[in-house]
A and B are shown apart, each in its own frame.
Chain A
Amino acid sequence: MEMLGAVLTMLVTLDPALTGIVGLSLQVSLLAVLFAALIGAPLGAALAIWSFPGRRAVLLIASTAMGLPPVVVGLVFYLLLSRAGPLGEWGLLFTPAAMVMAQTALVLPIVISLTHQAVRPLAMSYADMMESFGASGRLRLFTLLWDARFAVSTALLAGFGRAIAEVGAVLIVGGNINGHTRVMTTAIAMETSKGALELALSLGVVLLIVALAVNAAMMALASFGKRYEAA
């Protein structure tokens, strides 16, 4: 009971220890989703529109990579970014930038796969019409992304859900440095092992609220998108 009171106090008073960690979590994961969207959404749409050698292989890799273990991704980026690694001279290991990179890699396959799935049926039904209108490849791509905007947004939310909740990748490349690279999940893991359950629980509550908001947004998008779908 006492602990619940402490948790509530932390949440209601917006304890700086709490808000700093939540803020960094949101920043890192939102940036990762942004980069994954910029790369993955056009790529997913292109895979849906055009066939080229290796297309199926790319799709297979992307859908397999949706379930990549975050610790493995973290490890790969650790090796890339560590001082002896090929990108070592960037000096990014144990910085938020490294965390964004690792999470981008985690989210990217989700965005590619789900965008492809969302755009594919539209691309098929639009194909002849696009040809008839003489639409350029670029216009086709952006038209399909726009017309599939609700499903594509859902893909981005799914990617955000994965990024904000993962612990392995950010822990390995970020290092859970207090005030620098400590995010919600890594903080929860550490505070719990220290026995500081108030902060851990408070962060857990915030994480659940974020998950709830993401899912609510997905549902709202789906029902709003229905208005534009032919019966």
Chain B
Amino acid sequence: MEERQATITPLPRAERAAATLLLDNAVVEKDGDRLLGPISATVASAGVTVVLGANGAGKSQFLRLIHGLSAPSSGAVRWGERPPSDARNEQGYVFQVAPLMRRSVWANVEFPLIARKWPRAMRAARTAEALERARLAEKAALPAAALSGGERQRMALARAWATGPKVMMLDEPCASLDPASVAEFERFLTAIRDEGAKLFLATHDLGQAQRLAEDVLFFAEGRLAEQAPASRFFAAPASDAARRYLAGEL
């Protein structure tokens, strides 16, 4: 399998350096099994980076790694100068199966603000804004478990967005949603993007990938098989694995 790995080029520090993602031969292993890597890449600090690949290719592992939920067994991951665990409080993560906290929709969205120690008055205003944007304001008082699948994912997005992250990771957030729910989710997501947040979106939905991606990280068998601008990737994938994936063979 052909493998293209971007080399690390130091970026000028003034240029939003805090949000530029750098990976240097990062490897994730668990119990002696290699789950991911080695990966070396530099990812720009703006725009939507779509993370593509078949099931088990390493998409979730990659998102977890760059958010600091798993530590590299070897190699390094940095956001500018900072390790992921330091950068995390400027980030939001939407899990593939977002945990519904056993409380109201409002309390779910307010929770990260409590965790980050926002003052009470600011919490209320921000929670209301997040729910408004997710079009869930009318359901604020319901138990989160009463929401539909699409509403749950929008709530999870609102919850991850509430703290005002500069970077968001989304792990197949629309995997089990119907088209109308996907459209609604993407409306909220593109608004977040337009406000300048950097998005990492893992998806299986090639339509969604083409609608949103500015660049693509393509994973195969735990490795970064290709990193390319979206237009180039979808028109002429350079790696064999990506060609087969786009042709529906992987």
* A residues lining the B interface (CB < 8 Å): 122, 125-126, 128-136, 139, 143, 146-149, 225, 227-231
Nearest CB of B to A147, in Å = 4
B100 contacts which of A130, A146, A230 (Cβ < 8 Å)? A230
B114 contacts which of A126, A139, A147, A230 (Cβ < 8 Å)? A139
Q: Which of B48-75 contact A (CB under 8 A)?
A: 64, 67-69
Which among B68, B101, B116 has the highest number of chain A CB atoms within 10 Å?
B101
The verdict on A128 contacting B102 (CB below 8 Å), with A136-B115, A227-B145, A229-B145 known, is no
Which among A126, A229, A230 has the highest number of chain B CB atoms within 10 Å?
A230
Which among B67, B68, B99 has the highest number of chain A CB atoms within 10 Å?
B99
Interface of A (DSSP majority class)? helix
Contact: B69 with A128, CB < 8 Å? yes
The verdict on A129 contacting B99 (CB below 8 Å), with A134-B115, A231-B145 known, is yes
**B143 lies within 8 A of chain A by Cβ:** yes
**B175 lies within 8 A of chain A by Cβ:** no
Nearest CB of A to B80, in Å = 19
In whole angstroms, what is the CA distance A131 to B69 when docked? 7
In whole angstroms, what is the CA distance A149 to B143 when docked? 14
B88 contacts which of A134, A147, A149 (Cβ < 8 Å)? A134
- Contact mask for chain B residues 77-113; partner A; CB cutoff 8 A; 1 contact, 0 none: 0000000000011011101001111110000000110
**B236 lies within 8 A of chain A by Cβ:** no
Q: Which residues of B have CB within 8 Å of A229?
A: 102, 145
Contact: B111 with A133, CB < 8 Å? yes
In whole angstroms, what is the CA distance A229 to B160 when docked? 21
The verdict on A134 contacting B102 (CB below 8 Å), with A128-B95, A129-B95, A228-B145 known, is no
**B124 lies within 8 A of chain A by Cβ:** no
The verdict on A134 contacting B116 (CB below 8 Å), with A126-B99, A129-B95 known, is yes
Contact: B67 with A122, CB < 8 Å? no
Q: Which residues of A have CB within 8 Å of B116?
A: 133-134
Q: Which residues of B have CB within 8 Å of A143?
A: 101, 111
**B146 lies within 8 A of chain A by Cβ:** yes
* Chain B residue nearest in CB terms to A135: B115
B67 contacts which of A132, A135, A149 (Cβ < 8 Å)? A132
B115 contacts which of A133, A227, A228 (Cβ < 8 Å)? A133
Nearest CB of B to A176, in Å = 44
The 8 closest A-B pairs by CB, nearest first: A228-B102, A133-B115, A147-B102, A135-B115, A133-B112, A132-B93, A228-B143, A230-B100
Q: Which of B137-195 contact A (CB under 8 A)?
A: 143-146, 160, 163
In whole angstroms, what is the CA distance A63 to B121 when docked? 44
* 27 pairs, CB–CB < 8 Å, chain A vs chain B: A126-B101, A128-B64, A128-B95, A129-B95, A132-B92, A132-B93, A133-B112, A133-B116, A135-B115, A139-B114, A143-B101, A146-B103, A147-B101, A147-B103, A148-B102, A149-B102, A225-B102, A227-B145, A228-B102, A228-B103, A228-B143, A228-B144, A228-B145, A229-B102, A229-B145, A230-B144, A230-B145
Nearest CB of B to A80, in Å = 40
